């Protein structure tokens, strides 16, 4: 396992260190000529996660992003229960949001300031005094090897550079749980390798738990565990090599 259980601290301290979904369903009401119709997006999701790294794989539109967004209350369940380290993301939204860092697939969804440095300073505003903020923001960019981007316009950055800046802005606030929605889509080989090393380090040294969705099956195979989502249901849950194999077979049987 690359991200690896080995060497990682067993516990962050007191309290439950477990993410659990019990009978969770999410759906929307669609307008139809005859009235509203409930369209399910996720159905009866039952899963408990306590591994350091978990990959979520599945076809476009299968429900991966929706599942990830339940982790920090961006999406709320229509029924069932979600607990993040014993906390309810709706009732205890503030505590959950301070524990869970969420990195969107599209960095434009979260970068709001003109430059990477300013964006990370914004992330740090509640935890670092103003006088120290610039230095701390630079240190975060340095950790990701992108300090040279500090004062560039975010609009001029490449997609991959923006994706790394978005990750830096989330890491700046030291999340205990890092949720990444397709983190490698825009990254070249070098940056993907950099991300792999960074996540390995976060898991091993800081005890961060990482949950990510991906279409990159090689990257998924680096996790400790993988879930396969199909039509809004978790249809497979195992070691990643077995899960990617099952997913390949699922797609092949659909295409034949
Ligand atoms: N806010 C919403 N309102 C209505 N339908 C939605 C909403 N969010 C997601 N959906 C629908 O739910 C289904 C699952 O979407 P989701 O984004 O979770 O898929 P995904 O597995 O992340 O797909 P991809 O691999 O393309 O990112 C899709 O059919 C999508 O159109
Ligand atoms: Mg998605």
pLDDT of 8 > 50? The answer is no
pLDDT of 33 > 80? The answer is yes
For residue 45, give every residue at least 6 positions away whose Cβ sits within 8 Å of its Cβ, in sequence order, or none. 21, 23, 24, 25, 67, 80, 233, 234
pLDDT of 72 > 60? The answer is yes
Q: CA-CA distance, 251 to 58, in Å (whole number)?
A: 9
pLDDT tier at 256, thresholds 50, 70, 90: confident
Which ligand 1 atom is at minimum distance from the Cα of 213? 22
Is any ligand 1 atom within 6 A of the Cβ of residue 181?
no
pLDDT, position 36? 83
> Across residues 14-31, what is the average pLDDT?
89
Of residues 1, 8, 10, the one with CA closest to residue 55: 1
Domain segments of the chain as ranges:
9-255
Q: CB under 8 Å, gap of 24 or more: what pairs does 105-111 form?
A: 105/65, 105/181, 105/182, 105/185, 107/159, 107/162, 107/163, 107/165, 107/166, 107/186, 108/162, 110/166, 110/169, 110/170, 111/154, 111/162, 111/165, 111/166, 111/169
pLDDT, position 179? 98
What is the best residue among 41, 106, 251 to mutate for testing ligand 1's pocket, by most ligand atoms within 8 Å of CB? 41
> Across residues 135-144, what is the average pLDDT?
94
Is any ligand 1 atom within 6 A of the Cβ of residue 75?
no
pLDDT, position 4? 54
Assign domain 9-255 to a CATH class: alpha beta
pLDDT of 6 > 60? The answer is no
Residue 96 phi, psi dihedral angles, 5° rounding: -65, -45
Protein residue with its CA nearest to atom 28 in ligand 1: 61
Q: CA-CA distance, 228 to 248, in Å (whole number)?
A: 10
Is any ligand 1 atom within 6 A of the Cβ of residue 233?
no
Helix (H, G, I), strand (E, B), or coil: what is residue 3?
coil
What is the best residue among 58, 64, 69, 104 to mutate for testing ligand 1's pocket, by most ligand atoms within 8 Å of CB? 64
pLDDT of 79 > 80? The answer is yes
Protein residue with its CA nearest to atom 10 in ligand 1: 41
Is any ligand 1 atom within 6 A of the Cβ of residue 30?
no
pLDDT tier at 223, thresholds 50, 70, 90: very high
How far is the centre of ligand 1, averaged over its atoms, from the C-alpha of 163 (Å)? 21
What's the alpha-carbon Rg for the chain, to the nearest Å?
19
pLDDT, position 85? 95
Q: Which ligand is nearest to the CA of 57?
A: 1
Instruction: Find how far residue 126's CA is from the centre of its chain.
Output: 22
Q: In the structure encoding, which two tokens stand for residue 32, read together? A: 């139809």
pLDDT, position 3? 64
pLDDT tier at 13, thresholds 50, 70, 90: very low
How far is the centre of ligand 1, averaged over its atoms, from the C-alpha of 155 (Å)? 27
Instruction: Supply the pTM of this predicted model.
Output: 0.92
How far is the centre of ligand 2, averaged over its atoms, from the C-alpha of 41 (Å)? 12
pLDDT of 183 > 50? The answer is yes
Q: In the structure encoding, which two tokens stand for residue 151, read together? A: 């004062």
Mean pLDDT estimate for the chain: 92
Q: How many helices (H) and strands (E) does the chain have?
A: 8, 9
Least confident span in 3-7, 17-21, 149-153:
3-7
> Across residues 18-38, what is the average pLDDT?
92
Percent of the chain with pLDDT over 90: 84
Q: CA-CA distance, 44 to 115, in Å (whole number)?
A: 42
pLDDT, position 45? 97
pLDDT of 11 > 60? The answer is no
pLDDT tier at 230, thresholds 50, 70, 90: very high
Of residues 65, 58, 50, 61, the one with CA closest to residue 18: 50
pLDDT, position 141? 95
Percent of the chain with pLDDT over 70: 94
Which residue is it, tokens 């700046």? 172
Helix (H, G, I), strand (E, B), or coil: what is residue 23?
strand
Q: CA-CA distance, 221 to 242, in Å (whole number)?
A: 9
């Amino acid at each position: 396992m690359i991200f690896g259980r080995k060497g990682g601290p067993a516990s962050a301290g007191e309290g439950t260190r477990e993410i659990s979904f019990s009978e969770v369903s999410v759906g929307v009401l669609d307008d139809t000529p005859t009235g509203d119709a409930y369209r399910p997006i996720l159905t009866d999701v039952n899963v408990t996660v306590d591994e350091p790294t978990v990959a979520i794989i599945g076809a476009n539109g299968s429900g991966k992003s929706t599942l990830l967004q339940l982790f920090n209350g961006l999406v709320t369940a229509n029924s069932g229960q979600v607990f993040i380290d014993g906390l309810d993301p709706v009732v205890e939204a503030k505590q959950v949001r301070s524990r869970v860092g969420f990195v969107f697939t599209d960095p434009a969804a979260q970068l709001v300031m003109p430059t990477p440095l300013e964006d990370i300073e914004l992330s740090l505003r509640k935890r670092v005094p103003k006088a120290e903020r610039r230095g701390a923001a630079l240190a975060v960019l340095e950790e990701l090897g992108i300090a040279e981007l500090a004062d560039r316009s975010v609009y001029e950055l490449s997609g991959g550079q923006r994706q790394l800046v978005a990750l830096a802005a989330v890491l700046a606030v030291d999340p205990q749980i890092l949720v990444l929605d397709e983190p490698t889509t825009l990254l070249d080989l070098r940056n993907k390798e950099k991300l792999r090393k960074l996540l390995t380090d976060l898991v091993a040294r800081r005890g961060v738990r990482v949950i990510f969705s991906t279409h990159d099956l090689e990257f998924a195979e680096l996790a400790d565990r993988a879930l396969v989502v199909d039509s809004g249901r978790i249809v497979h849950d195992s070691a990643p090599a077995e899960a990617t194999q099952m997913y390949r077979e699922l797609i092949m049987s659909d295409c034949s």
